């Protein structure tokens, strides 16, 4: 049987790098896509037998060229690339708002569209997108990031409606507090780290591997009837609001 192929976007660092490594361990040949060319190459060479794909997910032509380099439609697509620019909605620029939407939502659409066509033709495939708990309960100041992540959950449901009949499953994962990637600086502050850890019902921060494990579960046959879902991987955080409010 031919080796399975996975494409992970934003795989040069953080959660994406952990997903790429988990996919490699699960037997996939991995396409390591990242706008940071150096990071894409370093991660691909660290994995061994992987394909570096330096590419911005918002650039349709570059994505098509990267898919040609990959050498075919992947069995697994993980839309993980994402950026955040904090600031109140009334104070940020429209340019910044657009850029975040473009990377976090439109980029996932561009990849899902290009790869989804190949999956539809072949009659199987699996797409997992990395959203955030901000899609469900947005944190003040996350502006376009939260809006994009909410859009990504709905995009997932729409793709599931379109692609299910062709044997293609589509789901998303919504991480909570993750000790790594774009949150590394946040959790370097020991006071914030302690406060946030204590807010999580499981009383620990998530690791990048916790998120990668959830992605690999959704990519595997163990989840063969799970479709169009958003899987929260947050130690119970999203559902803890009322328990954090003092009672008389
Ligand atoms: N770390 C967290 O706390 C956390 C929590 C919830 C959700 N997430 C989500 O997980 C995903 C990964 O985040 P992370 O924490 O690993 O961040 P990260 O910044 O460590 O990694 C993101 C990677 O995406 C790449 N990237 C950025 N823009 C790109 C573009 N236009 N095209 C291609 N690649 C691009 C970056 O170069 C980087 O390597 C993101 O979608 C993020 O929103 C992260």
Q: What pLDDT digit, counting tens, does each position of 133-172 carry? A: 999 999 999 999 999 999 999 999 999 999 999 999 999 9
Tell me what percent of the residues of the chain surpass a pLDDT of 90.
Answer: 96
User: Tell me, what's the pLDDT at 248?
Assistant: 86
78 within domain boundaries: yes
User: Tell me, what's the pLDDT at 40?
Assistant: 98
Residues tagged active-site: 145
Tell me phi and psi for residue 78, to 5 degrees: -115, 110
Write the pLDDT tens digit of every residue in 14-61. Answer: 999 999 999 999 999 999 999 999 999 999 999 999 999 999 999 999
120 within domain boundaries: yes
Q: What is the mean pLDDT of the chain?
A: 98
Distance (angstroms) between ligand 1 centre and the Cα of 103 equals 10
238 within domain boundaries: no
How many domains are there within the chain?
1
Under 8 Å between Cβ of 212 and 19: yes
Distance (angstroms) between ligand 1 centre and the Cα of 107 equals 12
Nearest protein Cα to ligand 1, atom 24 = 10
Domain span holding position 119: 5-178+207-233
94 within domain boundaries: yes
Length of the chain: 248
What's the CATH number where 214 sits? 3.40.50.720
Distance (angstroms) between ligand 1 centre and the Cα of 86 equals 14
68 within domain boundaries: yes
40 lines ligand 1 (CB under 6 A): no
Under 8 Å between Cβ of 28 and 54: no
Q: CB within 8 A of 21, min separation 6: which ones?
A: 47, 212
Task: State which ligand 1 atom lies nearest to the alpha carbon of 79.
Answer: 41
Q: How confident is the model at residue 1 (pLDDT cuts 50, 70, 90)?
A: confident
Distances from the Cα of 113 to the Cαs of 89, 152, 218, in angstroms? 30, 13, 19
Q: How confident is the model at residue 75 (pLDDT cuts 50, 70, 90)?
A: very high
130 lines ligand 1 (CB under 6 A): yes
189 within domain boundaries: no
Which ranges of the chain would DSSP assign to H, the alpha helix? 14-25, 37-47, 60-70, 94-101, 107-122, 143-163, 184-188, 190-199, 208-219
User: Tell me, what's the pLDDT at 28?
Assistant: 98
Under 8 Å between Cβ of 152 and 111: no
Distance CA 58, CA 47 (A): 25
Distance CA 163, CA 117 (A): 9
Q: How confident is the model at residue 2 (pLDDT cuts 50, 70, 90)?
A: confident
171 lines ligand 1 (CB under 6 A): no
201 within domain boundaries: no
15 within domain boundaries: yes
Neighbours of 15 (CB within 10 A): 29
Q: Parallel, antiparallel, or unpaired: how do β-strands 76-79 and 125-130 relate?
A: parallel
């Amino acid at each position: 049987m031919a080796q399975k192929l996975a494409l992970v976007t934003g795989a040069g660092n953080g959660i994406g790098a952990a997903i790429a490594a988990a996919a490699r361990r699960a037997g996939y040949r991995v396409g390591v896509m990242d706008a940071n060319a150096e990071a894409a190459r370093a991660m691909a060479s660290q994995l061994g037998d992987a394909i570096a794909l330096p590419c911005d997910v918002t650039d349709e032509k570059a994505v098509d060229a990267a898919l040609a380099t990959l050498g075919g439609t992947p069995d697994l697509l993980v839309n993980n690339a994402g950026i955040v620019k904090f600031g109140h909605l009334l104070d940020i620029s429209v340019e910044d708002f657009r850029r975040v939407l473009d990377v976090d939502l439109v980029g996932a659409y561009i990849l899902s569209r290009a790869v989804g066509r190949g999956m539809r033709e072949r009659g199987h495939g699996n797409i997992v997108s990395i959203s955030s708990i901000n899609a469900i309960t947005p944190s003040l100041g996350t502006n376009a990031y939260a809006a994009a992540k909410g859009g990504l959950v709905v995009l997932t449901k729409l793709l599931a409606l379109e692609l299910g009949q062709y044997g293609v499953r589509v789901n998303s994962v919504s991480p909570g507090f993750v000790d790594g990637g774009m949150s590394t600086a946040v959790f370097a502050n020991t006071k914030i780290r302690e406060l946030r850890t204590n807010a999580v019902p499981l009383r620990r921060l998530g690791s990048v591997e916790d998120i990668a494990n959830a992605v690999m579960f959704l990519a595997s046959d163990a989840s063969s009837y799970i479709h169009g879902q958003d899987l929260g991987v947050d130690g119970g955080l999203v559902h803890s609001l009322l328990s954090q409010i003092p009672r008389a």
